[in-house]
Amino acid sequence: MTTDVLIEEEGGVGRIRLNRPKAIHALNLAMCEAMIAALLRWRDDPAVRLVTIDHAEGRGFCAGGDIRMIAESGGGDGADAARFFRAEYRLNHLLFTYSKPIVAFMDGITMGGGVGLSQPARYRVATEQTRYAMPESGIGLFPDVGGGWYLSRLPGRTGAFLALTGARIDGAECMALGLATHYIPSAELAGVKQRLAEAPGDVAAILAEAAVTPPPARILGRRETIDRLFAAERYEDILAALKADGSEWAKAELATLATKSPQTCKVSLRLLAEARERRDFADEMTAEYRIATRICRQPDFLEGVRALIIDKDNAPRWNPATPEAVSDALVDSFFAPLPADQEWTPL
């Protein structure tokens, strides 16, 4: 039994509380398995009417997954990484299809795996402390945990922008893009959770009463520019549009993209394009599992983890080094079906 996630019942609420503060509650296999077990138990328990997901202490809701473990596994046979992805994606799918209402409190850092926990929830609470991002392009991964599904459904080309640049957005911006359903001051959350425990059937009214109007969303001021410059489906065309624009903002985004894995950026654009056409979240997770189990064994991921997490020199040497060197055949290889006995399946 892991203590990295606390499973509690309070009133009619099943509470999932991430409890790995030194890692900003990054998910590991034991945490995913514990959450799955609790959700399956509560699904058929009439006493549990509502599920909440938050973090027990420390800064941030959830910073992602256990990147070091994935990299160590990817440098070998990849088996442990595959087991983690299989369980994490089953958790994501279980949350997405859950019959009972779920409230996710995106208070603080909400990235990668934290996005996968929060976005399936019917109610997604942002605060003034929310820092939301899918930063995987910086370490040679891609926006997984359903990221293809969620980002591809954001307004205009904001999803492509977030996937490629890994840009961090705040709670007000999450509200503006539909990533959050309520904006509640962080100081009010304890009271909200207490009221939910006392009256879980009144979740919609309790959240609505506690919600306040968020500040202006900065990203809305960039919508026209983002939609225009990130309009292309080819990564090279996006880079060319930014270069031709020549504005200070475009130059800054070009500089940001220059630090990202070209391979990841091309895979991410293809994932979002395909995800827009999917009608079943299980199909999305199947596709992402194919990519994840392959990309974690690629030189770019191992190099990205070295540069940003282990050595922290922030100078990854990507291979292939340029977008032009990332062939269509290489991108295709990530999306190809796995052997039948290795494919991802929902619970």
Tens of pLDDT, residue by residue over 128-140, are 999 999 999 999 9
Q: What is the mean pLDDT of residues 314-324?
A: 96
Q: Which of 91, 102, 45 is nearest to 65 (CA)?
A: 91
pLDDT of residue 83 exceeding 90, the answer is yes
The single-letter code of the amino acid at 231 is: A
Q: Is 248 known to be catalytic?
A: no
> Per-residue pLDDT for 272 more than 90?
yes
- Decide if 87 contacts 36 (C-beta within 8 A): yes
Tell me the per-residue pLDDT of 256-269, one tens digit each, with 9 for 90 and over.
999 999 999 999 99
Using one digit for the tens of pLDDT, what is the confidence trace for 13-25?
999 999 999 999 9
Please report, rounded to a whole number, the percentage of residues in the chain having pLDDT higher than 70: 100
Rounded Cα distance between 264 and 297, Å, is: 13
Q: What are the residue ranges of helices labelled H in 217-315?
A: 223-229, 235-245, 248-257, 262-275, 281-295, 299-305
Other CB atoms within 10 A of residue 168 CB: 16
| CA distances, 241 to each of 128, 151, 184, 252, 273 (Å) | 33, 21, 38, 13, 19
Which helix (H) or strand (E) element contains residue 194? helix 189-198
Pairwise CA distance, residues 30 & 1, whole Å: 8
Per-residue confidence (pLDDT) for residue 253, from 0 to 100: 98
CA distance 167 to 161: 8
Q: Which of 33, 66, 107, 136 is catalytic?
A: 136
Measure Cα distances from 221 to 133, 160, 182 in Å: 18, 17, 21
Question: What is the distance between the terminal CA atoms of the chain, rounded to a whole angstrom?
Answer: 21
Question: Which is the catalytic residue, given 33, 144, 170, 253?
Answer: 144
Helix axes 235-245, 262-275, angle to 10 degrees: 110
Indicate if the pLDDT at residue 239 is higher than 90: yes
Is 65 designated active site? yes
Cβ proximity of 184 and 212 under 8 Å: yes
Whether 126 shows a pLDDT value over 90: the answer reads yes
pLDDT digits (tens, 9 = 90+) for 139-150: 999 999 999 999
Determine which one of 14, 112, 113, 114 is catalytic. Answer: 113
pLDDT of 18 = 98
pLDDT of residue 154: 98
Instruction: Catalogue all structural domains in the chain, each as residue range(s) with its CATH number.
Output: 5-342 (3.90.226.10)
Cα 286 from Cα 307, distance rounded (Å): 29
Question: Cβ(142)–Cβ(122) under 8 Å?
Answer: no
Q: What is the pLDDT of residue 59?
A: 81
**Distance (Å, rounded) from C-alpha 70 to C-alpha 88?**
12
Beta strand pairing call for 109-111 and 182-183: unpaired
User: Nearest Cα to 115, choosing from 157, 124, 156, 67?
Assistant: 124
Confidence of residue 291 (pLDDT cuts 50, 70, 90): very high
Active site residue 328: no
Is 113 a residue of the active site? yes
Catalytic residue among 64, 65, 112, 166: 65
The whole model's pTM is what?
0.97
Query: Before 320, cis peptide (omega within 30)?
Result: yes
Residue range 144-200, pLDDT digits in tens: 999 999 999 999 999 999 999 999 999 999 999 999 999 999 999 999 999 999 999
